[in-house]
Structure formats: structure tokens, C-alpha cells
Amino acid sequence: MNNRYIGALVLAPLIIFIFLGGDYLKYIVMVLSLLGMYEFYKVSRKKHYKPIGIVGYILCIVYYLNMGNDFLLSFNIYILIAVTLLLLCIPVIYTSYNFVDIALTIFGFLYVAVFFSFIVFINNKSYGEYLVWIIFICSWGCDTAAYYCGRILGKGGKHKLCPKVSPNKTIEGSIGGLLGSIIGCTIYGYVISRYGVPIKLYHYSIIGVLCGIFGQFGDLIASSIKRFVGAKDYSSLIPGHGGILDRFDSILFVSVVAFYYITFIMKL
């Protein structure tokens, strides 16, 4: 069996947690965040940087434990600022560390744990048990359509999308991925409207466009990090897919974009 399909089976239990929502979803996202941060810190060390992983992991756990319906963003910002201040003192005390190590420690938390957390934020909204699926439909729809359109229509790779970052991606695959995101999200919006979700259908199409674009940026950014440090994959945790950040790179961006649109445009 193709390793990509084996990897898909490994990820299948995540669907159960999305259905369950609430604390079940929050804690599985926290675990994914911790694994993703571990991968990020590990590849950073390939360039001889020394992010302080234990601080990032503790910050991640505190952040998620603090998350709920009474979640106070300001409180978490205060914690982040205090931790950053203390971390900046470390290179003075232990000169084997420098400001880049501190920056990578904080960045790993923001890029992975905070971006992942927007899945939980969407789930906690009105109709969140329906809207949270948009993240995965847009991301996986985009990835799947891009993969097959790239193989079929972009055969030969004449029209490279971003060769210096990800040489195998084609413009044909990118367009196919965008269409996959739009079509998947729009169809899903139509289906859940039959179940009493009072949201205009055009919103789903717009979300599909935005998530199709930024999801591909998420993929390319993850690739640019790997290229910089000289890594093929973040890890080999998921057969045929690499690591958590290889599989969820687009979801990190899609979850943030979807949350912002749902919050500030749809006013939910």
C-alpha cells in the first residue's frame, strides 16, 4: 500500500477528536503542538542553533491549559512577554546561547502552538462544531487537488510555482489546489446550511479562496524552513507524509485565516 495512504490511516483518529470537540479537541491539538514544536526545534539545531525547547513546551502547556470559554488573550500576552524578558537574560548568564536561540524558542511557540490553537478557537464559536471542519476541508481539499492536478496537468514540471523553495510544485497544481479548496468549502457550506447553519453560501466560497491561497503559503513556508536547514522532512512520524509540520503546515495558516474571516467579516 502507498505510504501516503498508510499515513492517512494514522491520522484518521484525529477525525474522532474533531467530532468530539471541546476539551478532547483542545488536548489533541495541544499534543500536536508539542510534537510540532519538537520537530521545529530539532531541525533548527541542524544549523547549530540552540532553541530552549523545555521553555517552549512549558509555555505551550500553560497556554492550552489556560484556554477555555473564559480565555483571556491579555493574560497570555502578559505571560509571553514575561517569558521573553526572562529568556533574553539567559545569553548574559550563559554565553553559549545567543539572541537567535531565544528568538527561535519564542517563534516555535508562536508558529506552531499559537497557530494550531485557532482550531480550538473556531470550535468554541457559535456553530463551531460545523465551522471547524472548514479548516480541514479547505486544507486537505487543496492538498489533494494540487497533488493530482500537478501530476496530471503539470506533468514534466514546465511551469514551476516556486522552484527555489519547492521545486516539485507547479502552477497547474497550485490552481488545482485553489479550486479544490473553493469547491470543497462551498459544497460543505451548502450541506451544513441544510442543518440549520444560517450563513450565506458566498462566505464559504470566499473562505475557500483565502484558505486555498494562504494554505499554499503555509506549505511553502514550511518548505523554505526545511530548505534553509537542509532537512527533507521535519520527522518520519507519519508514513508517506513526514512529520506533524509536514502534514499540518497548511492547516496552521488555514486555521488562522478562517478564524479571522469568521470573527471579523462574518461577526461570529
Q: Assess whether pLDDT exceeds 90 at residue 236.
A: no
Rounded to an integer, the average pLDDT of 70-79 is 77
pLDDT at 7: 59
pLDDT band at 66; cut points 50, 70, 90: confident
Question: Measured between alpha carbons, how far is residue 94 from residues 26, 58, 90, 100 in Å?
Answer: 36, 20, 6, 14
Q: Where are the domains of the chain?
A: 3-265
- Number of Cβ within a 10 Å radius of residue 210: 21
d(C-alpha 220, C-alpha 163), whole Å: 10
DSSP 214-235: HHHHHHHHHHHHHHHHT-S-S-
Q: What is the pLDDT of residue 2?
A: 56
Count of CB atoms within 10 A of residue 203's CB?
A: 17
Angle at CA of residue 151, ends 258 and 138, nearest 5°? 10
The pTM of this model reads 0.94
Q: Are 130 and 197 in contact (CB under 8 A)?
A: yes
* pLDDT per position as a tens digit, 155-212: 766 789 998 898 889 999 999 999 999 999 999 999 999 999 999 999 999 999 999 9
Question: In 3D, which of 64, 66, 68 has the Cα closest to residue 22?
Answer: 68
Q: How confident is the model at residue 242 (pLDDT cuts 50, 70, 90)?
A: confident
pLDDT for position 46: 95
